[in-house]
Structure 1
Amino acid sequence: MSNLSVQLSDSLYKSLQELAKQDGISIDQFVATAVAEKIAALTTENLSRGVSKARQSRKIRRSFSKSTRY
């Protein structure tokens, strides 16, 4: 495990405290879960973009190969 020191505005910290309490978890657990969820969302988005770009590249190559046929 690694330690992380983060500075938050007073209002953000207050919201963090309240939400962690509502969920019945520690602030550390809340932050770790939030970071994990954000990483998962961005990873999924990046993978989706990669698949989309790969599909687009294949379409372009197919279109180009069709247009270069005699």
Structure 2
Amino acid sequence: MSTISLRLPDSLHERIRKLAKKDRISINQFAASALAEKISALETEDYLSQRAKRASRAKFDRALSKVPDVEPENRDKI
């Protein structure tokens, strides 16, 4: 495990402290979770961008052609 020194504005530090206390976790756990969420979001964006580059209208039409042509249930109608 690594140690880092992080400078935060007092207002942000106070908000983090309150949220961590509310969740009954340490500030370190809170920060690690927040960083993991951010990393996940950025990596998901990269993944989706890569997948989008492989997309084609022909593949979309082929997949859509497999969907049955039926009326949506009443709860699904717009």
The ranges of structure 1 where at least 4 consecutive aligned residues each deviate by more than 2 angstroms after the TM superposition are none
Instruction: Report the number of matched residues.
Output: 58
Q: Report the Cα distance in structure 2 between the residues aligned to 1:14 and 1:46, rounded to whole angstroms.
A: 32
Letter in 2 for 1:29: Q
Higher RCO, Cα 8 Å, sep 6+: 1
**TM-score, normalised by the number of residues in structure 2:** 0.68
Unaligned runs of 5+ in 2: 60-78
**TM-score, normalised by the number of residues in structure 1:** 0.76
Unaligned runs of 5+ in 1: 60-70
Letter in 2 for 1:51: R
Q: Report the Cα distance in structure 2 between the residues aligned to 1:21 and 1:53, rounded to whole angstroms.
A: 43
Task: Give the % identical residues.
Answer: 48
Q: Report the Cα distance in structure 1 between the residues aligned to 2:54 and 2:37, rounded to whole angstroms.
A: 26
Letter in 2 for 1:50: Q
Q: Please tell me the root mean square deviation across aligned C-alpha atoms, in Å.
A: 1.7
Letter in 1 for 2:10: D
